[in-house]
Structure 1
Amino acid sequence: MRNVLRAPCPVCKKEIEYIYQTETIPYFSEILIESAVCPCGWRMADAFILREGQPAMCEYAVTCEDDLCVRVVRGSSGTVTVPELGIVIRPGPAAEGYITNIEGVLDRIEDVLDTALRTAEEEERDRALALKEQIALVRKGQAQITLIIEDPSGNSAIIKNPGDAAAEKK
């Protein structure tokens, strides 16, 4: 079901559309996706699993290029960790949930690295470039990583195949 609510942008106060839509992820749960975009540049997107959840920890070993297509649902309270890269992404007060795949998670990490590279000192720059090289190897299937999501609200999952019987939760 899709609902549209018109309300002011919190930044420029121009009236915009806030979209609330429910979707069902096969063998997982119904989710609520909320989003809004304003011409001023403000945007908001989040995803909520519409069920009570217990704390969850999801783990997936990325060993080949095909694994980049594995679906990732990260609730706004989920912490994403890639131990092999030394990456820990903790949710902040304005954290947004998202639905993507493992390649999309790597894209998000690279976006942060690209932003950091603009103002990085030499040592930080070298570290960011080394991480980008590692990510490139993972994308080619030449390096392996483990994607871990820990979520105290249980609103995160790693789903290998939506047609499989269950999400990859521990």
Structure 2
Amino acid sequence: MNETLTDKQCPNCNSYLYYIEYDTEIPYEGKITIKTYTCKTCYYKNVSIQRHEREKPKVMLLRITGKNDLKTIIYRSPDAYIKIPEIDAEISPGIASNGYITTAEGIITSIKEKLSLMGNNKETKVLEERINNILKSNSEEITIIIDDDSGKSKINSSKAKVIEKPI
């Protein structure tokens, strides 16, 4: 891993940036290249990750019907969309999107936490109550849908349905 002084200037202080490139392998994603620009004056840092391996694009579905399903381990790749149509929720990938490992319960809880950004109205309160009941397994069943063009996302359950997407 060599550090190289570049002719690119820091967006904060205009000093010249250093560049580091590092190849490695990580679980679920395989081979990646980490590219980093750093400023030694103001400590600005810009990191990007390039993934080299792709699988066939796929859509995965997990029907949550009880408390045990909430414990299902899920890996969401940086390219994946997550949708829960029953509560009209979606998590979309962005430019700085990272992959992460969580549970079905973790995904639902994350959506619940984001409700505060939508304000404190009657509709939000009703949805929050529905989500609380889903987390307690006292109410409706839901479906977690993961749509991943990289094909890297995984649902660790024999109940998960996998549909390959046409390329």
TM range (shorter): 0.5 to 0.7
Q: Write the deviation string for residues 31-81 of structure 1: whole angstroms up to 9, x where unpaired.
A: 87x9xxxxxxxxx9x999874211110100000011111011111111110
User: Which structure 1 segments of 5+ residues have no match?
Assistant: 1-9, 14-19, 35-43
Match of 2:93 in 1: 91
1:57 is paired with a residue whose SS is strand
TM-score w.r.t. the length of structure 1 is 0.63
Asked if residue 153 in structure 1 is aligned to residue 150 in structure 2, the reply is yes
Equivalent of residue 130 in structure 1, options 126, 144, 152:
126
User: Where does residue 169 of structure 1 map in the other structure?
Assistant: 162
CA distance in 1, matches of 2:129, 2:113: 14
| Inter-partner Cα distance in structure 1 for 2:76 and 2:144 | 12
Pairs within 5 Å for 1:11-160: 24=27, 51-117=53-119, 125-143=121-139, 144-160=141-157
Question: What is the number of residues matched between the two proteins?
Answer: 139
Deviation above 4 Å: which 4+ runs of structure 1?
10-13, 20-25, 29-32, 46-50
Partner SS state of residue 169, structure 1: strand
Q: Which amino acid aligns with 1:64?
A: G
Unaligned runs of 5+ in 2: 1-9, 14-22, 35-45
Task: Supply the AA of the counterpart residue of 2:114.
Answer: V
The alpha-carbon deviation at position 152 of structure 1 amounts to: 1.0
1:48–1:97 CA contact under 8 A, matched in 2? no
User: Over residues 77-116 of structure 1, what are the superposed CA-to-partner deviations in whole Å (9 max), with x where a residue is unaligned?
Assistant: 1111001001122222222221101011012101211233
CA RMSD between the two structures: 3.9
What is the CA-CA distance between 1:22 and the residue it aligns to?
Answer: 5.3
- Provide TM-score, normalisation by structure 2: 0.64
* Cα 1:103–1:21 shift into 2, 3 Å: farther
Tell me if structure 2 keeps the 8 A contact 1:31–1:47: no
* Higher Cα Rg, which structure: 2
> Secondary structure at the residue paired with 2:162?
coil
